[in-house]
Amino acid sequence: MKHYEIEQLKMYIEEARIIAFFGGAGVSTESGLPDYRSKDGRYTQMEEQDLDPKKVMSRKYLTEHPKAFFNRPRRNQKEPIPNDAHRMLAEMEQSGKDVRVITQNVDGLHQKAGHRFVLELHGHHRTWYCMACGREYLPEEVKKDQDQIPRCPIDQGIVRPSVVLFGENPNKEVVQKSKETIRASDLMIIAGTSLSVNPARHYIQQFQGKRVVVINDEKIDTGNLDVDLYIEGKVGETLAKLETI
């Protein structure tokens, strides 16, 4: 990234009344979380094991094969903490800037950083719920049976994270609020996402404001949306440079 690009980004942010930050997996990779489609990505690793991510990470697979769903290999990693991307956005908000986050991530790192306006398109892991009765549980409260399947102690229904799986639709209220947020903003920052997932990639077309900025490691297709500034690089590293100007 070039110095003038950071200067331009800072100017856009200072001028903006409402900022919509539309983020994907690349916002959290600097916190040690893998993305999906890179060589070390979650889906890539599944495919290397001859697993179809859209099948294995679906509601249908969870319902029909709960033992396989909950016992698939997972990489050991430390509890992630917010990186400079989450921190900078939260600090902007805390300083009085109207920054509204729309995220495709389920890690809750924006909230951990202190952000108060976060719309989670794909849900989150902060609570789990019973698929039979709907009772909610905290992750540490979840009890597993002999096959390591999380079960509700009341009716023995499968207990699962409050995330959106393949074959499921995002929460209608979250979707509506996300669209309204994008329409209300005059600056939209699209960061750390390939925009390859439906229907989220279509939401950005709701933008009617003044400026669009993309921060990403590679070029992306924004459809009919014109981009005013494209910064090639890591999201946290890019936003942290705003402090140096």
Mind telling me the catalytic residues? Answer: 122
SS3 content of the chain, % helix, strand, coil (to 5): 35, 20, 40
Q: Which residues contact 124 (CB under 8 A, 6 or more apart)?
A: 106, 107, 108, 161, 162, 163
Q: How far apart are CA 28 and CA 5, in angstroms?
A: 22
Residue 11, C-beta contacts closer than 8 angstroms, at least 6 positions apart: none
Q: In the 8-state DSSP scheme, what is residue 58? A: B
CB of 106 within 8 A of CB of 171?
no
Tokens of 221: 């297709």
Helix or strand or coil: residue 228? coil
Q: Which of 231, 220, 230, 216 is nearest to 29 (CA)?
A: 216
Taken in order 172, 177, 182, 188, the sign of the CA dihedral is negative
Tokens of 140: 């540490």
DSSP secondary structure code for residue 166 in this structure: B
